[in-house]
Amino acid sequence: MYDDAKLEDEAGRVAALSRYHALDTAPETELSQIVGLARDVFQVSQASVNLIDRHRLWMMATAGAARAECRREDAFCDHTIRAAKPMAVPNLLEDERFRDSPFVQGEAHMRAYLGVPLTSPEGYNVGTLCLLHTAPRLFTATDADILVRFSELVVSQLEMRLIAQQDELTGTLTRRAFLQRLDGALASPDPFALVVLDLDMFKAINDTFGHPVGDIVLTSTARTIAGQVRSGDAFGRLGGEEFGLVLAGADSRDAMALAERIRAHVGAQVIAETGRPVTLSLGVAVRTPADDRTSLLLRADLALYEAKHDGRDRTVLARGVEATC
C-alpha cells in the first residue's frame, strides 16, 4: 500500500494532494458518513478525514467535532503521513512528541490516537484518517487493519469525486466544479484573479477540419495551458472553446504575466492535424471587495470581448467592478 521511496518527496506529495482540488471545500455527505461510521465502530470521541498541505492540516470531514484546521507542526497526523504504516499512540500525555500539544493540554483533552495515511494511487500520503479519544486507549493491530480499510474507502471516494469533476474531453474541471472553486475563492479574504479565455476562430477549425480534429485542438490546448498553471490554481472548461482560471494570490501584474505566458505558449504550438497554431483571447479580472460571482465573471467576460473586438490573440485587463454597474 505504501511507497517508501515517496515518503520524502514533499513536492510530489503536495502535487498529488492538489490533484484532488479538495482543500477548503464544502462538507460532503459521503465522507461525513464514512467518518461517522468509523467513530461508531471504534467508539471514540472523534474521527476525521484530514488533508495536509505544506503548512496546515485541514479537516475535510469530521464526526464528534466541528471542521477546523491547525498548523501542520501541531498535528499528530503530520507524523502519520511521514511513515509507511499506521500510527497508534495509546496515551498522548506520556509520549514526549505530543504531551505538550495544545490538543492534549488544551480544552480538547485528547489522550489516544490512531491514524492511517490516505495514500493516493501514485503512492503519496496526502492526508490521514484518524481516530481521537479523550481517555487513554490501547489500539490493536486489528483496529489498525480495519481503519486502513476505512481509509481505502476515503481514497476511493476522493477518486470518484475527482472523476465527477473532470471534463471528459479535456481533463480540466467541469464548469460546475470550476464555479465551486470560484465560489470558494470568493468566500476567502485572500486575493485572486479570474481569467476567462477563448480559442480564436474555433468554429472555422471545426468547419474546415471537422469536429474530431476540433476535439484534438481543444485537448492539446488544454494540456498546454495546464502545463503553465500553478498547483494551487483552478483550471476549468466553461463550455465549448471557453476556459477559466482562478489564480490564487494573484494581483493584476501576476495575472497578466501568467495570462500572457499562456497565450505565448499556446501560440507557439503547431497542431499537427491542422498544420497551424491556435491563438487565444483572454480577459483578466482581479477580485475586488465588491465582487460576487456574477460581477467578477461579467468583468472578465467584458475584457475577453474587448480582446476579441480589438483583433484577437491578446490579453485585456478588466476595469473595476463599478464600471460594469
Are 144 and 180 contained in the same domain?
no
pLDDT tens over the chain, length 325 residues: 456 678 889 999 998 998 888 888 888 999 999 999 999 999 999 999 999 999 999 999 999 999 999 999 999 999 999 998 999 999 999 999 999 999 999 999 999 999 999 999 999 999 999 999 999 999 999 999 999 999 999 999 999 998 999 999 999 999 999 998 999 899 889 999 999 999 999 999 999 999 999 999 999 999 999 999 987 899 999 999 999 999 999 999 999 999 999 999 999 999 999 999 999 999 999 999 999 999 999 999 999 999 999 999 999 999 864 444 3
Evaluate whether 220 touches 272 at the Cβ level (below 8 Å): no
Look up residue 277 and give its three cell numbers: 497554431
* Chosen domain end from 104, 138, 163: 163
Domain count, the chain: 2
Residue-by-residue DSSP string for 157-200 = HHHHHHHHHB-TTT-SB-HHHHHHHHHHHHHSSS-EEEEEEEET
pTM confidence score: 0.74
187 plus 140 within the same structural domain: no
Do 253 and 196 belong together in one domain? yes
Per DSSP bridges, beta strands 192-199 and 242-248 are antiparallel
Domain boundary among 131, 163, 195: 163
Strands 234-239 and 87-89: unpaired
Q: Which of 119, 137, 163 is the last residue of a domain?
A: 163
| Residue 225's CATH number | 3.30.70.270
- Catalytic residue (choose from 73, 107, 241, 260): 241
- The predicted pLDDT at position 23 comes to 86
In a shared domain, residues 109 and 129: yes
Q: What are the strands, taking DSSP E only, across 95-173?
A: 112-119, 125-133
pLDDT, position 325: 34
- Note whether 206 and 304 are same-domain residues: yes
Task: State the residue range of the domain holding 100.
Answer: 4-163
> CA 174 from chain center: how many Å?
13
Dihedral sign for Cα 128, 131, 135, 137, please: negative
Does residue 241 have an active-site annotation?
yes
